[in-house]
Structure 1
Amino acid sequence: MYDKAYISHDIRNQCFTWAGIMLIGAVLSYYLTPYMAVPAFVVWLVLFFQEVHFDTYKAFEKYLLK
């Protein structure tokens, strides 16, 4: 019923994006100020909660095979 390859690619891309945001925040906090980690964390939270759904059908409807 679901496209497992699409799910795995989508999750892989999300993890790379989240890791990239945290890496940028870590580098900026190392070179500029430690407080640069806070905006990176806020951006990560926004992107993370865009993907969180409490309804399982809504969470997986984009992965349905057509």
Structure 2
Amino acid sequence: MGNKKLLERRNDSLTKAEQTLIERILQLSFELKESYWFKEALIEWYDYSNKKCHKFIRKMD
């Protein structure tokens, strides 16, 4: 798998070996590292807000 595809995947879906490779790649560029973890934070925020929304909708039913 190419590095670009690896960087696009969610961190929580990577194997330990892939996570290690990601860490090595991210050491090469501060901007890339910041962008990668920002992407992960957005995913976490989206997942959290989605769960909250579903709970609210269920309460209204």
TM-score, structure 2 length as denominator?
A: 0.50
Greater relative contact order structure (CA < 8 Å, 6+ sep): 1
